[in-house]
């Protein structure tokens, strides 16, 4: 027994405005439930233009909690069927979750079934599929019209699956078919690498919508499909293609991921989207010999200790540094227009601001704080696993600035910095890169090879 379901929603926020459920026994429709639903919020004009459902129409309609029992009962002991099933299923599931109930049904997606049983079409949208199969859709973008069209399509798919093997594989919880996004061909997933690298999710317009890194690309990609969070479900509904680039090394994968996110600005990446740092952290010594930590606009600081995307991020970092090294907020410019800092009362400052600590003692802790955010050496390479056994991955840092990564033949013995430059893809240095490298070096100092000054100075005219 199948429940063929279609819903209309408010779009952003995805509250249901209409639902239609057709109970199908494999041959005919034996029961039906269709109703408008009051979403308890305004319907955007563009949604009204698409569906024809207005705020006035849903004003007197039942709210979801009033029909939840009916939905639960009519779909009980049935397989939940929809076109792009995860969209309808998870919105309904979320509505039940908001009421404190768990809604769980086996699922079938007519998009994925059609890709398998009616291969070779340019589009698998409901409209395109119905046109290709001579199915007339009455009231397109209304729940009942779309549900009725889906039921006719579903009946055709049942007939095409002569031995039932395709339906069985999709219903098998261990089958990948049941979890792969509806627009994504299975062969693309089958061809994914199991090695370390970076992967790219793309939509129907070939736009990159998400970039990630993994030590096992295929395994990590599949984990996205099993994740039922709202963001992951929304993202998976858009995925039509996946490409990847092997890096050999997890460190290089991290660096490539960070650079690519800043280059492409994918809609589902958030953490590293920022690209323009504007605030710089620096130090200076006042007339009393006390070393200050301060910040200002980046263009006013010749050699910043660190760069930040905004003042808030910088202040949060400084506050952590203050706490870790027991520095004075007054001399870190976190508390202004005060004769002594408030932290002294909390015993978090040793009293430099009250002349109760020597300048030399305080300055020593400031220098330790500065050292903690610098590399141990200004010029070094990191040797990492290559993409093949015949190469080595390298990460290059010169004068404390990250220059990029690349690969060299395992038998090659560079004699100058120029040799390394010839093998790397030049990259931008930024705070995200510094965070990645600093975290790596704390755990993997043995892979770092310091470069002598004479080695670096062998190519003084290189513009990197």
pLDDT at 461 > cutoff 50: no
Closest CA to 343 of 19, 335, 442: 335
Residue 53 lies in a domain: yes
Residue 462 lies in a domain: no
178 in Cβ contact with 172 (< 8 Å):
yes
Q: Are 198 and 168 in the same domain?
A: no
Q: Are 16 and 159 in the same domain?
A: yes
For 215-249, what is each residue's pLDDT tens digit?
Answer: 999 999 988 887 777 788 889 989 999 999 999 99
Residue 408 lies in a domain: yes
What is d(CA 420, CA 433) in angstroms, rounded to the nearest whole number? 19
For 3-24, what is each residue's pLDDT tens digit?
Answer: 999 999 998 768 999 999 999 9
Residue 461 lies in a domain: no
Q: Are 159 and 58 in the same domain?
A: yes
Q: Are 152 and 253 in the same domain?
A: no
For 149-179, what is each residue's pLDDT tens digit?
Answer: 999 999 999 999 888 888 988 887 666 666 7
Distances (CA, A) of 418 to 64, 180, 256, 422: 67, 46, 22, 6
What is d(CA 295, CA 310) in angstroms, rounded to the nearest whole number? 11
Q: Among the three residues 230, 264, 298, which one is the final residue of a domain in this structure?
A: 264
Structure confidence at residue 456 (pLDDT):
59
Residue 334 lies in a domain: yes
Residue 312 lies in a domain: yes
Q: Are 46 and 7 in the same domain?
A: yes
Mean pLDDT of the chain: 88
Domain count for the chain: 4
Q: Are 331 and 283 in the same domain?
A: yes
Considering just the CA atoms, what is the radius of gyration of the chain in Å? 30
Q: Which residue has the tokens 């952590």?
A: 320
Q: Which residues contact 250 (CB under 8 A, 6 or more apart)?
A: 196, 213, 215
Q: Are 197 and 233 in the same domain?
A: yes
Q: Are 57 and 163 in the same domain?
A: yes
Structure confidence at residue 460 (pLDDT):
43
What is d(CA 256, CA 260) in angstroms, rounded to the nearest whole number? 6
Q: Are 27 and 83 in the same domain?
A: yes
Task: Look at 196 and 339; give whichever has higher pLDDT.
Answer: 196
Q: Among the three residues 349, 372, 395, which one is the final residue of a domain in this structure?
A: 372
Residue 274 lies in a domain: no
Rounded (to 5) percent helix, strand, coil in the chain:
40, 20, 40
Residue 340 lies in a domain: yes
134: left (phi over 0), alpha (psi -120 to 50) or beta: left
Q: Among the three residues 209, 239, 264, which one is the final residue of a domain in this structure?
A: 264
pLDDT at 432 > cutoff 50: yes
Q: Are 310 and 166 in the same domain?
A: no
Provide the strand spans (E) within 123-240. 197-202, 208-214
Q: Are 344 and 420 in the same domain?
A: no
105: CATH = 3.30.420.10
Q: What are phi and psi of 378, to 5 degrees?
A: -80, -25
Q: Are 174 and 308 in the same domain?
A: no
405 in Cβ contact with 424 (< 8 Å):
yes
Rounded mean pLDDT of 45-71?
94
Task: Look at 429 and 22; give whichever has higher pLDDT.
Answer: 22
| Residue range(s) defining the domain that contains residue 26 | 2-178
Task: Look at 104 and 449; give whichever has higher pLDDT.
Answer: 104
């Amino acid at each position: 027994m199948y429940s063929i379901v279609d819903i209309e929603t408010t779009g952003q926020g995805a509250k249901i405005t209409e639902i239609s459920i057709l109970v199908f026994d494999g041959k005919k429709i034996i029961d039906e439930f269709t109703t408008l639903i009051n979403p308890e919020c305004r319907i955007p004009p563009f949604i009204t233009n698409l569906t024809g459902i207005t705020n006035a129409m849903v004003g007197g309609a039942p709210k979801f909690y009033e029909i939840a029992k009916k939905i639960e009962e009519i779909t009980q002991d049935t397989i939940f069927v929809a076109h792009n099933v995860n969209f309808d299923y998870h919105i309904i599931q979320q509505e039940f979750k908001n009421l404190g109930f768990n809604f769980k049904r086996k699922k079938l997606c007519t998009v994925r079934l059609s890709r398998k049983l009616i291969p070779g079409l340019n589009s698998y949208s409901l409209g395109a599929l119905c046109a290709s199969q001579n199915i007339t859709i009455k009231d397109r973008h209304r729940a009942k019209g779309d549900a009725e069209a889906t039921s006719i399509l579903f009946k055709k798919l049942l007939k095409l699956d002569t031995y039932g093997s395709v339906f069985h594989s999709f219903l098998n919880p261990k089958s990948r078919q049941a979890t792969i996004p509806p627009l994504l061909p299975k062969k693309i997933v089958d061809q994914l690498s199991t090695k370390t690298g970076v992967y790219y999710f793309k939509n129907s317009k070939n736009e990159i919508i998400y970039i990630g890194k993994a030590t096992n690309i295929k395994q990590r990609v599949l984990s996205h499909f099993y994740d039922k969070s709202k963001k992951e479900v929304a993202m998976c509904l858009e995925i039509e293609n996946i490409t990847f680039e092997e890096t050999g090394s997890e460190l290089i994968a991290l660096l490539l991921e960070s650079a690519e996110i800043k280059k492409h600005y994918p809609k589902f990446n958030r953490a590293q989207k920022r690209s323009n740092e504007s605030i710089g952290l620096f130090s200076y010594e006042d007339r009393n010999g006390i070393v200050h930590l301060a910040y200002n606009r980046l263009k006013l600081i010749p050699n910043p200790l660190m760069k930040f995307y905004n003042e808030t991020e910088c202040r949060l970092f400084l506050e952590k540094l203050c706490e870790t090294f027991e520095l004075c907020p007054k001399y870190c410019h976190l508390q202004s227009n005060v004769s002594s800092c408030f932290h002294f009362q909390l015993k978090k400052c040793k009293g430099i601001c009250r002349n109760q600590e020597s300048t030399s003692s305080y300055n020593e802790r400031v220098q330790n704080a500065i050292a903690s955010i610098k590399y141990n050496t200004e010029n070094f390479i990191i040797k990492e696993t290559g993409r093949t056994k015949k190469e080595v991955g390298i990460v290059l840092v010169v004068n404390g600035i990250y220059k990029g990564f690349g690969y060299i033949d395992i038998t090659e013995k560079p004699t100058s910095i120029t040799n390394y430059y010839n093998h790397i893809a030049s990259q931008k240095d930024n705070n995200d890169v510094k965070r990645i490298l600093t975290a790596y070096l704390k755990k993997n100092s043995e892979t770092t090879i310091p470069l002598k000054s004479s080695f670096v100075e062998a190519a003084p005219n290189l513009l990197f």
